[in-house]
């Protein structure tokens, strides 16, 4: 879905420039608008891609309204994509899985690790948490912002973790969730890539004294897909999926706070 929209928008933008140049060269007046067929949502995404690729504006107002942590408060920021966004959305059927906890959710649907790295200072460091929980990588493997290597994904994880450590924030690195296919980008065979990324994340966390939390083992089928009862689309957890993830996350946060 997201990838197709981005491809269409990129084609639209390129087509507009090409048509405009041709019309100008032939002096035939204004070029037709090749973006006329785009939906309002697709146009909004094109504007966002051109003007705020990291989507820094998404949480800008919420961050500005947020008070500093209270004395003794163990603030935690969950950084991620739609899986994190859905986890913390109180107006969705999943509800609030951590009632009463000083947890902030800074997930944005469709985002990849380079986009998260762009907004990491605004959406994590500036909020002065004691712990950051980073769950990411699946949209990189889905090529939401174009083809990328595992090494590039790993580098973005490392950069976020190192920025957090430099700011005195303790780090919880999460396994990427299982997927055997993407409903919006078929044929990428993500399962072996997810396994390889998780092996690297676990090793990186151990070598750098970060906490690693393993959702994958509790949620994956033998072939590397998501257990069907845990997600309606094979990627995004439902309530049953979050019910498995929540205590694993809590354990990791507790470990980070005592390290």
- The predicted-structure confidence for 140-191, as pLDDT tens digits, reads as follows 999 998 899 999 999 999 999 999 999 999 999 999 999 999 999 999 999 9
Q: Do 19 and 84 fall into the same domain?
A: no
* Number of domain units in the chain: 2
- Is residue 21's pLDDT more than 70? no
Evaluated on CA atoms 126, 56, 162, 205, the torsion sign reads positive
Q: Which residue has the tokens 């500093």?
A: 68
108-126 mean pLDDT:
96
- Check whether residue 38 and residue 119 sit in a common domain: no
Residues 29 and 75 in one domain: no
What's the pTM? 0.83
Claim to verify: residue 87 and residue 140 sit in the same structural domain: yes
Inform me whether the pLDDT recorded for 66 exceeds 70. yes
Query: pLDDT-derived band of residue 4, with 50, 70 and 90 as boundaries?
Result: very low
Task: Answer yes or no: is pLDDT of 81 > 90.
Answer: yes
The mean per-residue pLDDT over the stretch 111-116 comes to 95
pLDDT average, residue stretch 225-231: 97
Cβ(185)–Cβ(3) below 8 Å: yes
CATH of the domain at 77: 3.40.50.1110
Are 28 and 74 in a shared domain?
A: no
pLDDT reading at 16 higher than 60: no
Do residue 72 and residue 194 come from a single domain?
A: yes
Q: 18 and 141: one domain?
A: no
- The confidence band for 209, taking pLDDT boundaries of 50, 70 and 90, is very high
Q: Are residues 22 and 77 in the same domain?
A: no
43 shares its domain with 60:
no
| Residues 244 and 142 reside in one and the same domain | yes
Report the pLDDT value the prediction gives residue 87, as an integer from 0 to 100: 86
Task: Please give the average per-residue pLDDT across 229-256, as a whole number.
Answer: 96
- Same domain, yes or no, for 234 and 144? yes
Torsion, Cα of 164, 165, 170, 175 (10° steps): 70
Give pLDDT tens digits for 132-142. Answer: 999 999 999 99
Q: Averaged over 100-112, what is the pLDDT?
A: 93
CA distances, 88 to each of 77, 93, 131, 137, 147 (Å): 11, 11, 16, 19, 29
* End residue of a domain, out of 11, 33, 50: 50
For residues 143 and 23, state if they share a domain.
no
The answer to whether 78 and 133 have CB atoms below 8 angstroms apart is yes
**C-beta neighbour count of 100 within 10 angstroms:** 6
How far apart CA 135 and CA 18 sit, in angstroms, is 40
Mean pLDDT, rounded, for 52-71:
88
b vs e for 155-175, b when ≥16 Cβ sit within 10 Å of the residue's Cβ? Answer: ebbbebbebbeeeebbbbbbb
DSSP-based three-state secondary structure for 176: coil
* pLDDT band at residue 100 using 50, 70 and 90 as cut-offs: confident
**Confidence band for 34, pLDDT divided at 50, 70 and 90:** low
Domain housing 106: 55-258
DSSP state of 237: B
């Amino acid at each position: 879905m997201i990838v197709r929209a981005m491809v269409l928008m990129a084609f639209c933008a390129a087509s507009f420039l090409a048509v405009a140049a041709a019309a100008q060269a032939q002096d035939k007046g204004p070029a037709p608008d090749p973006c006329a067929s785009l939906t309002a949502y697709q146009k909004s995404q094109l504007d966002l891609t051109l003007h705020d690729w990291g989507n820094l504006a998404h949480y800008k107002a919420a961050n500005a309204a947020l008070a500093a942590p209270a004395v003794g408060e163990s603030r935690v920021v969950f950084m991620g994509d739609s899986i994190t966004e859905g986890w913390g959305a109180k107006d969705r059927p999943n509800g609030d899985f951590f009632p009463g906890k000083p947890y902030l959710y800074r997930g944005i649907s469709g985002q990849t690790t380079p986009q998260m790295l762009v907004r990491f200072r605004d959406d994590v460091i500036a909020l002065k948490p004691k712990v950051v929980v980073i769950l990411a990588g699946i949209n990189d493997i889905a090529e939401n912002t174009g083809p990328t290597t595992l090494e590039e994904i790993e580098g973005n994880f490392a950069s976020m973790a190192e920025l957090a450590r430099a700011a005195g924030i303790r780090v919880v690195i999460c396994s990427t969730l299982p997927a055997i296919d993407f409903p919006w980008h078929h044929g990428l065979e993500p399962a072996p890539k997810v396994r390889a990324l998780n092996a690297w994340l676990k090793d990186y966390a151990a070598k750098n004294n970060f906490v690693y939390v393993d959702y994958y083992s509790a949620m994956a089928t033998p072939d590397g897909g998501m257990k069907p009862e845990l997600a309606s689309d094979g990627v995004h957890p439902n309530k049953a999926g979050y019910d498995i993830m929540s205590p694993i996350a809590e354990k990791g946060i507790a470990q980070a706070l005592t390290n």
